[in-house]
Amino acid sequence: MNFLVGFILCVSGGQEKESFWFFYAILEKSQQEIPFDGLSGFFETEFPVLMQYLAVFKELFEEFIPDLFNHFQNEMVPDQMWIHKWFMTCFLYSFPMGLCLRIWDNLLAFGTRFMFNICLAILNLLKD
């Protein structure tokens, strides 16, 4: 969670109170019409939401980019090396801040399920 909080603090210009409430809001499932599902399940014991997202992503990865999926399987690339980090840090661990800002804009606009689109797009662009 430190990546998320640090990013939020940087973006807010160090406004601690604003950052706290924003972080709280993205952890909790939204009760409004915003499509954001909340990230608290990514950090709960046994990571229930993270495990669901990983299972769904694996199916989508195999369906939409089968050649790269098979390559990862043949090379025995463990999910913990990359996709866990992408999801748990909302891409902050692996990408520059400018790209992360664009990714977060989309996550906030379209919801956390948009992570699947982002992952597939990145993999598709870099598969060669």
Report pTM: 0.83
54-112 pLDDT per residue, tens: 999 999 999 999 999 999 999 999 888 899 889 988 999 899 999 999 999 998 888 88
> How many CB atoms lie under 10 A from the CB of residue 123?
17
Name the DSSP letter for residue 127: -
Rounded Cα–Cα distance for residues 102 and 75 (Å): 31
Asked whether the beta carbons of 48 and 40 are under 8 A apart, the reply is no
Separation of alpha carbons 1 and 20, rounded Å: 12
Q: What is the DSSP letter of 94?
A: T
CA distance 34 to 61: 26
What pLDDT is recorded for position 29?
A: 63
